[in-house]
Amino acid sequence: MRIDVVSIFPEYLSALDLSLIGKARQQGLLELTVTDLREFTTDRHRTVDDTPYGGGAGMVMKPEPWAAALGAVLGGGPAAGPGAAGERPVLVVPSPAGEVFTQATARDLALRKHLVFACGRYEGIDERVVDWSREHFEVRPMSLGDYVLNGGEVAVLAMVEAIGRLVPGVVGNPDSLVEESHADGLLEYPVYTKPALWRDRPVPEVLLSGHHGRIARWRRDRQLQRTAARRPDLVGSLDPTGLDRADRAVLAEAGWVVSGGRVVRAGDGAAGEPVA
Ligand code: SAM
């Protein structure tokens, strides 16, 4: 996979030299290039921002350096298109006004050949850059969550890590990707390691039993309980056909039932359906 990041703070992205993503780059699994937006300015102050039309606080990133930088990333100057035949690169524009980045988004983007990340600063990038980019890229304005950061770099670090670890070969044991939070719409179960007794706190006995079926059931129950307690929005999105009798019993204890083909809060006029 090829990844390009454009930023006025290229050094911010140096964390991508470390750990599994750094190793994946060394191994050639990820071809990641960070480009300094200021290289595409034409004035002696290397200006990338200007005052907003219509007034208001803050500064807005100018369109020209962005068009030049993105054109260079595409490999043919500002007016160039995707170049090589085939799928268009995806341009991810971090923004608190974008669609929320989720594990499903990460899975989707991990299948793409070329991702380009445009790190905004100040009040963001002139909107015409986003419009113009649609001629050359599949554009995805993307939010890390409902809060405001100073710039896109932190969001890009998070997104590249979440996407990169799904690229085959980046994480040594692919099984660890299957069992973790959000892989199946649920949060992960709690995990423990040695010693079996720590500060008067024993590891749950079932985990020492060696009984794979009981361990799997215990973990599934904890997933359902934890998700119901911490992320009820995820419970409401569960597919009831994937819930067995034991799952439904755990959810019922947490105040959820299957009704009308959906998982809903008990008491919202919902009558629980018998398990098929
Ligand atoms: N004025 C913008 C607004 O209210 O939507 C916020 C600009 S913010 C101070 C500067 C940059 O930080 C944004 O252009 C974006 O690149 C990045 N950013 C801030 N919050 C973000 C979030 N939640 N997710 C992704 N990127 C974010």
What does the alpha-carbon distance between residue 169 and residue 23 come to, in Å, rounded to a whole number? 10
**CA-closest candidate to residue 176, choices 165, 163, 186:** 165
Ligand 1 atom at shortest distance from the alpha carbon of 142? 25
How many angstroms does the Cα of residue 140 sit away from the middle of ligand 1? 14
Q: 79 falls in which pLDDT band (50, 70, 90)?
A: very low
**CA-closest candidate to residue 69, choices 5, 22, 13:** 5
Which range is least confidently modeled, 54-63, 67-76, 226-235?
A: 67-76
**CA-closest candidate to residue 263, choices 231, 222, 217, 215:** 231
Ligand 1 atom at shortest distance from the alpha carbon of 61? 14
Asked if pLDDT for residue 181 goes beyond 60, the answer is: yes
Which range is least confidently modeled, 82-86, 165-169, 212-216?
A: 82-86
The continuous run of DSSP H or E covering 240 comes out as none
Q: List ligand 1's pocket residues with C-beta within 6 A.
A: 94-97, 119-121, 123-124, 143-145, 147-152, 155
- pTM for the model stands at 0.92
Asked if pLDDT for residue 273 goes beyond 80, the answer is: no
pLDDT digits (tens, 9 = 90+) for 44-53: 999 999 999 9
Average pLDDT of every residue of the chain: 94
The confidence score (pLDDT) of residue 236 equals 95
How many angstroms does the Cα of residue 197 sit away from the middle of ligand 1? 45
What does the alpha-carbon distance between residue 155 and residue 148 come to, in Å, rounded to a whole number? 10
Dihedral angle computed from the Cα positions of residues 238, 97, 63 and 52, in that order, rounded to the nearest 10 degrees: 180
